[in-house]
Structure 1
Amino acid sequence: MYTHKKQVISHGKPLSETGKALIMIHGRGASAESILSLADHLPVDDFSLFAPQATNHSWYPYSFMAPTEQNQPALDSALEQIHDLVKTIAGEGISSQNIYLLGFSQGACLASEYAARNAQQFGGLFLFTGGLIGPQLDTGNYKGDFQKTPVLITTGDPDPHVPVSRVEETVKVLEGINAVVTKKLYKGRPHTILQEEITLAMQILSGKERD
């Protein structure tokens, strides 16, 4: 078992110029560089981008629905890495409503779990094919108030890694702590990100969903 070495790749203009941060969390077997390439398709020229890198290219070793102890200590270490990054960005004078979290697959699971455990008014959450972590959800873990944070959560129906039922459970938890959730299920979609999902994310990033 393993813990994560702290490693973050940053891209774009510095926070002192943008005042907005997008944290991008890669999936299993992928890399910080690969998730950063998604930014080429998003309106993020006025964001500072941050992509943490998982040790062994995996945030935790087993399925996100495996018994939690099987994924330790990697899972707690991964959550700590995201928390430390958010604290570092906040320490630069960036308010939580100008911090956005994005993840794909295992990265979406980690993003949702971190955000639900530390609910506050984020700029937005983009959960591309993921859900909250654990064999059953322990609602005692989820604290705070999203204060109407916009959330996009998507998955294929079916998806080989993320059951639709867990996406539905995740929506219920996030809405229960005051997130505004857009859920999209795509029949027969492979384990990827579609253009429609990117378009929906663009609307949140540009602030159009608040108009």
Structure 2
Amino acid sequence: MASFILWLHGSGDSGPANESIKEHFTDPVFKSTKWGLPTAPSRPITVNRGAVMPAWFDVTDVPITSKSVRHDEEVLSAVKDVHSMIDKQIANGINPNNVFVCGFSQGGALAIASVLLHPRTLGGGIIFSGSMPLNPSIKEQVVPEATKTPILWIHGTDDQIVLFEAGESGCKFLQELGMSCEFKAYPGLGHSLMDDELEYFSSWLRSRLLSGGGVVQQKRGCCSQM
């Protein structure tokens, strides 16, 4: 079946540098999967003393916590670009339930914002070492269809860039909206991707494609650990 996986990289990275992620998607169910691995525009980053690098929006403080300053205007501008990528695939015939928005770090933050503000129910949002990049008041703009999109949130307990508590807080916020958010903690993992995470990511997507769509029974539990 046709599906679309949109992968959003972290700040300072690029889309092509993440091509190897595809190696974890060898199951036949992904045979007709299209991938989007865009590169963010280059911009000065405050936390790096104005150095210019690819980033979806500015970063003003590190580590990122659940109380970090939100820059809604820049995030919302990036969300519009992500929605354009998603909507192009839907217009080309991909079922919204087979569209998955994923990302690492800042890319994960943008992924969750994009899922929350999309007018349709998508197949899922997968967040690696991310945080909620929008103020809590954003819930007023979230339509019921978006709250049916299931979320997988993966975070290392020793992350010193985006703190573990920021991930936990983000998942709890989604659950308060009535969303299904599975929070998977990786003990000892810092701010990085590892093969075990990507294999679980692949398995999670596979189960949703085989079930015929992304809408699953609501989960209320917060955390699971390996």
Query: What is the TM-score of this pair, normalised by structure 2?
Result: 0.74
- Give CA deviations for 1:117-163 in whole Å, capped at 9, x if unaligned: 226432222111102114x5323243333465332111122312222
Taking only aligned residues, the RMSD between alpha carbons, in angstroms, comes to 2.4
Q: Please tell me the residue identity of whatever aligns with 1:66.
A: V
Please name the residue that 2:171 is paired with: 171
Deviation track 1:51-99 (CA, whole Å, cap 9, x = no partner) reads 2221111111215733426xx4x42321111011111111112221011
Using the size of structure 1 for normalisation, the TM-score is 0.78
**C-alpha contact (below 8 Å) 1:121/1:147 kept by paired residues:** yes
Q: In structure 2, do the counterparts of structure 1 residues 173 and 119 end up closer, same or farther at CA, with 3 Å as the change threshold? A: farther
Q: Secondary structure at the match of 1:52?
A: coil
Name structure 1 gaps, 5 residues minimum: 1-17
Letter in 1 for 2:56: W
Assess if the C-alpha contact under 8 Å between 2:103 and 2:127 holds in 1. yes
Q: Which residue of the partner structure matches residue 36 of structure 1? A: 19
User: In the alignment, does 2:27 pair up with 1:45?
Assistant: no
> C-alpha separation between the residues in 2 aligned to 1:147 and 1:68?
23
**Counterpart Cα distance in 1 of 2:18 and 2:129:** 14
State the shift of 1:206 in Å.
1.2
Which residue, out of 49, 58, 62, partners 2:59? 62
Change in 2 beyond 3 A, CA 1:132/1:86: same
Stretch deviating more after TM superposition (96-105 or 180-189): 180-189
Q: Figure out how many residues of one structure are paired with residues of the other and give that number.
A: 190
Distance across 2 between alignment mates of 1:204 and 1:187: 20
Alpha-carbon contact 2:115-2:149 (below 8 Å) kept: no
Q: Is residue 42–residue 198 contact of structure 1 (8 Å, CA) maintained in 2?
A: no
| Cα distance in 1, alignment partners of residues 3 and 195 from structure 2 | 24
- In 1, the alpha carbon distance for the partners of 2:13 and 2:125 equals 20
Contact 2:110-2:133 at 8 Å conserved across structures:
yes
Tell me how far apart the structure 1 counterparts of residues 175 and 209 of structure 2 sit (CA, whole Å). Answer: 17
The amino acid across from 1:105 in the alignment is S
Aligned to 2:133: 133
Code of the residue aligned with 1:58 in structure 2: it is A
Q: Percent identity?
A: 22
Alignment partner, residue 78 of structure 1: 78
Give unmatched runs, 5+ long, in structure 2. 43-53, 212-226
Contact 2:171–2:181 (CA<8 Å) still a contact in 1?
yes
